[in-house]
Amino acid sequence: MTQLSLPAEKAEIGASAGVERSGLTEWREGFPLVITSFFGIGVAVLSSWSIGLFIEPIQDEFGWGRGQITAGLVVLSIIGFFAAPFAGRLIDLIGTRKIGLIGMVVYSTAIASLGTTGAHLWQWWALWIFLSIGYVMVKPTLWAVAVSRRFDSQRGLALAVTNCGSGAILIVMPTILTVLIADHGWRMSYLFLGIGVAVLTLPLMLLFLRDPAPGAAAARLRMAGARPAGAADDAEAKAELWASLRSGRFLRLLLCALILTIALIGLQVHFIPMIVGLGVDRTTAAMIAGMIGLGSIIGRLTCGFMMDRYRGQIVGAAFLALPALSSVFLLSYDGGLAMGCAIAFIQGLALGAEMDVMTYLTSRYFGLRNYGTLMGTIMGVLVLGNGVGPTLAGWVYDITGSYQLYVMGAIPAFLVSALLIASLGDYSRGPRGAH
């Protein structure tokens, strides 16, 4: 049997359970799930990442401010912030399949329904409440849990490939939606988007999103350093969960997630309106924005690969500091194609690494026994940032007529986020959740 390159104590646990598995075996068994999760995590970000393309046509029809339009993301973020930890707990308790299938039906239907909004602003926000219910069930926590339960020695790379789904979507989405909106209007484009989400994901989920059998799941959790809670150790599991939630490391992860996401997603959502305002035509702006997706894929794969081999917190900190550089360039951007692509690509590297860093480091510092709950809590904070960032950027534009002030504020935010990750320490030493 092929030996895993695990620490001695983990290899011994795996041997006693008879479940030592090579990286090749993990990929052979888990590849269909990774592909399913690739598309699942890709469509999960569509609702928030695509809104920048709809801002101008919605503004033209209703006269709403950009802050008012993107406040739909605030609705999503508030609901997601409070509901995400409970959704993560449900995933821990009843598995990924039931939660995922129900959530994807609701989510795709809700996206399609955004095109039915009336002239009253409250109707737009109400539809985002409906969308939020589906989103909290199909957000990246679901896919991170599913993949982490199938992979150990290759977990960093598997999560990176999974998370590349959002980058792939981001490469093609701006161009496709720009054409759809131009040809069919923003209302029909939302309908097409919702149908596309359902067609792309539901068949794969029915075929491949299956939770491991209880025995196999238990063995894999033991290999990862965590026993699944049962009647005998339920109290121990709860005590471990509360200790993790209160730990300094987890609080720093939460703070990093909030600061980083407010800065990064605000720039990403408003990127096309931002450079269009600098004289770039919409077609060229959509092409430049596609470089964010390309950078995201390269960032995810490179970051995941490196975290499997080097100190994950140092690798993560380096990637999260990158958009401070691209933001400096953005302040003096004059509309040139090459510089625009470079700015978008560097921004994409951090956008790609963000989820890798959160999902991977959480699993390594705190294990898998309460992973769904912990990642659900982190995702609640990420969703909060997803709403606050674009709305704040929109309000800055509405008040000042420019995004400059927002970009200037993003630079120190990225540097602080990188320092928070670098300060977490080595997860191979000491008890998980300590410090």
pLDDT at 166: 78
pLDDT in tens, 296-333: 888 878 887 888 788 888 888 899 999 999 899 999 88
In a domain, 14, yes or no: no
- The whole-model pTM stands at 0.68
Confidence label for 22 from pLDDT (cuts 50, 70 and 90):
low
Q: What is the DSSP letter of 319?
A: H
In a domain, 196, yes or no: yes
Q: How far apart are CA 392 and CA 23, in angstroms?
A: 44
Mean pLDDT for the chain overall: 82
Closest by CA to 282, choosing from 65, 73, 47, 55, is 55
Do 38 and 168 form a contact (C-beta atoms < 8 A)?
yes
* Buried-state track 147-165, b at ≥16 Cβ within 10 A, e below 16: bbbbbbbbbbbbbbbbbbb
In a domain, 126, yes or no: yes
104 Cβ neighbours under 8 A, 6+ residues apart: 40, 134, 137, 138, 197, 198, 201, 202, 205
51 Cβ neighbours under 8 A, 6+ residues apart: 69, 70, 72, 73, 269, 390
Instruction: Calculate mean pLDDT across residues 42-68.
Output: 87
Containing domain of residue 162, as a range?
22-224+234-422
pLDDT at 226: 47
Find the helix packing angle between 66-94 and 121-138, rounded to 10°: 30
% of the chain with per-residue pLDDT over 70: 88
SS3 84: helix
pLDDT at 17: 39
pLDDT in tens, 350-390: 887 887 788 788 888 887 777 778 887 888 888 888 888 88
In the numeric block, which tokens belong to residue 330? 């953005």
pLDDT at 332: 86
Instruction: Calculate mean pLDDT across residues 158-180.
Output: 82
pLDDT at 214: 57
Q: How far apart are CA 23 and CA 4, in angstroms?
A: 8
Closest by CA to 166, choosing from 386, 352, 383, is 352
423 Cβ neighbours under 8 A, 6+ residues apart: 252, 313
pLDDT in tens, 113-134: 999 999 899 999 999 999 999 9
pLDDT at 99 exceeding the cut of 60: yes
Closest by CA to 375, choosing from 362, 388, 387, is 362
In a domain, 428, yes or no: no
* Cβ atoms within 10 Å of 122's Cβ, excluding its own: 9
In a domain, 220, yes or no: yes
In a domain, 191, yes or no: yes
pLDDT at 16 exceeding the cut of 70: no
Closest by CA to 267, choosing from 289, 252, 282, is 289
Of residues 1 and 48, the one with the higher pLDDT is 48
10 Å CB burial of residue 386 (0-12, 13-18, 19+) is buried
Q: How far apart are CA 47 and CA 226, in angstroms?
A: 35
Q: What is the DSSP letter of 430?
A: S
Assign residue 61 the CATH number of its domain: 1.20.1250.20
* Domain count across the chain: 1
pLDDT at 80 exceeding the cut of 70: yes
DSSP sequence for 153-200: TTHHHHHHHHHHHHHHHHHHHHHHHHHHHHHHHHHHHHHHHHHHHHHH
pLDDT at 379: 80
Instruction: Calculate mean pLDDT across residues 208-219.
Output: 67
In a domain, 5, yes or no: no
pLDDT at 171 exceeding the cut of 90: no
In a domain, 16, yes or no: no
